[in-house]
A and B are shown apart, each in its own frame.
Chain A
Amino acid sequence: MSVTFLLTIFSIIVGFIIGISLSLGRVYGNKIISIICIGYIEIFRGTPLLVQLFIIYFGLPAVGIALSPLHSALLGLSLNSGAYQAEYLRGSIQAIPSGQMSAARTLGMTKMQSIKNVILPQSLRISIPAWSNELIYLFKYTSIVSIIQVSELTKEGELIASRNFRYIEIFLIIALIYLIFTFIITEIIDRVTKKMSIPGIGLQIKTRPKLS
């Protein structure tokens, strides 16, 4: 169980850092940077996660990089999630009207300052719903790394079941555990969204602008 959490939390955070760099590079970078970012995103979104894991776990040793199953899984999930998060973020960055950037620049902010103080605080809020989707996907997709022998939740279940042959009961329990935690994650994100919500930005949750 703790391995599943480790995989999810580590990959979502590292993926977020990768994603934010890629999306900014894609939107604001020069042509070369932009093409590199697009290339990364397309390659990781265009190939199955399982194949990526196989390449990292079985393929990399051939070039002298041998990673443990857990390290391979962390690397694979992070790189993959980074590509998806980049696209969510890019969408929300491009949803910010260009006037916001103009206004920031007219105050004398540099491009970087404008991105940091004006663009990102808004686009990150907009991207929370899509981003929470990614978190839940990631949480469930950690089960796929059981194939490269990482003993996370699904793999543990498989081991127990192979000993007592109670496949149905065991996997129903495993499914239930995923379901419960997915529910908890959703609930937490909902609360965070509400707390961070600002009138006029992103989804409005039961708050109405009051005119005075």
Chain B
Amino acid sequence: MSMLKVENIYKSYGSCEVLKGISFSMEQHETKVIIGTSGTGKSTLLKCINQLDPPDKGKVWLEGKEITNPKTDINKIRQKIGFVFQDFNLFNHLTALKNVSIGLEKVKKLEKEKAQERAIKELQRVGLEKQAQQYPAQLSGGQKQRVGIARALAMDPSIILFDEPTSALDPELIGDVLDVMKSLAGEVAMLVVTHEMGFARNVADEIIFMEGGIILESGPPKQMFKNPKMERTKQFLGKISTLYGKE
């Protein structure tokens, strides 16, 4: 059984239908990258998965449990689904350390010392143990995002959803964040919405190309980059490669 299974998701905002039947599945420790033009519902799809913005139709299963079932305790499931935001959304009133430990303390009910110990470990993992006592306003964008990743990791998620994690960063700072993400590949499942083609090509097990609210094509990076089936995929990848560099 797949770890994550998404089945026939539909989502509309008013009269605008954003997702028109999305289905895919992910195995443990797999990395999948979702690409596509803006406004095709990539971010919406991520929010439909963790029920931040529940889908109108369709089902989502995580480790055999149906998340979309209203009887499921969504707060419990969400602990298993990390989320990294485009604009970080760190808790502004808490230090980097506290940002990482708060979920352990308040949700997993760990003792304060244990939670902080774990938080330090996660900050080390993303290379920010020195910044532990700084507040988000004192961190650079790249550092903020790495704290965001550490915050997600601390909860021991089965999967982390990344919603354009590097789009709000200066080009110089993107590398640090991508390096952290690369180091996670194979340790935890990742579903990444991004325009970083280098990351998609080198790290992803599969690339999903979305357009107009559906999955147009998906496959391993080699196949997608070298000989995509659809003309549109080729066109998109060609365009974005010239924009973002080929690596």
Q: Which residue numbers of A lie inside 8 Å of B, CB to CB?
A: 97, 99-100, 102-110, 113, 117-118, 121-122, 125, 198-201, 209-212
Q: Is the CB of B76 within 8 A of A99?
A: no
Interface bits B145-158 vs A (CB < 8 Å: 1, else 0):
00000011001000
Interchain CB contact under 8 A, A102 and B78: no
Task: Report B's interface with A, CB cutoff 8 A.
Answer: 50, 52, 75-79, 81-83, 85, 87, 89-93, 102-103, 106-107, 130-131, 134-138, 140, 151-152, 155
30 contacts between A and B (CB under 8 A): A99-B87, A99-B89, A100-B92, A102-B52, A103-B83, A103-B89, A103-B91, A106-B78, A106-B81, A106-B83, A106-B152, A107-B151, A108-B78, A108-B79, A109-B75, A109-B103, A109-B106, A113-B106, A118-B91, A122-B92, A125-B93, A198-B92, A198-B93, A199-B137, A199-B138, A201-B93, A209-B135, A209-B137, A211-B140, A212-B130
Q: How distant is the Cα of A106 from the Cα of B83 in the complex, in angstroms? A: 6
Q: Which of A102, A108, A200, A210 contacts B89 (CB 8 A)?
A: A102
Q: Is the CB of A106 within 8 A of B50?
A: yes
Residues of B within 8 A of A209 (CB): 135, 137-138
Chain B residues whose CB sits within 8 angstroms of the CB of A117 once the complex forms: 102, 106
Q: How far is the CA of A212 from the CA of B140 in the complex (A)?
A: 9
User: Known: A199-B135, A211-B138. Is A107-B93 also a contact (CB below 8 A)?
Assistant: no
A114, closest chain B residue (CB): B106
Q: A107-B79, A200-B137, A209-B137 are in contact. Are A121 and B131 (CB under 8 A)?
A: no
B135 touches A200 (CB 8 A): yes
Q: Which of A99, A108, A109, A211 contacts B85 (CB 8 A)?
A: A99
Contacts of B79 in A (CB 8 A): 107-108
**In the complex the two chains form, is A107's CB within 8 Å of B102's CB?**
yes
Q: Tell me the complex Cα distance, A59–B140, Å.
A: 61
Taking each of B79, B85, B92, which has the highest tally of chain A beta carbons within 10 Å of its own beta carbon?
Answer: B92
The CA of A200 and the CA of B137, in the complex, are separated in Å by 5
Give the CA-CA distance A100 to B148 in the complex, in Å: 12
Closest B residue to A210 by CB, please name it: B138
Complexed CA–CA distance, A198 and B134 (Å): 10
Residues in chain B near residue A201, CB distance under 8 A? 92-93, 137
CA distance A110 to B50 in the complex (A): 14
Residues of the B chain whose Cβ atoms lie less than 8 Å from the Cβ of A212: 130-131, 134, 138
Give B58 Cβ to nearest chain A Cβ, in Å.
20
For residue A129, give the distance in angstroms from its CB to the closest CB of chain B.
16
Q: Is the CB of B103 within 8 A of A200?
A: no
On chain A, the residues within 8 Å of B152 by CB distance are 106
Residues of A within 8 A of B77 (CB): 108
State A105–B75 Cα separation when bound (angstroms): 7
A103 B90 Cβ-Cβ under 8 A = yes
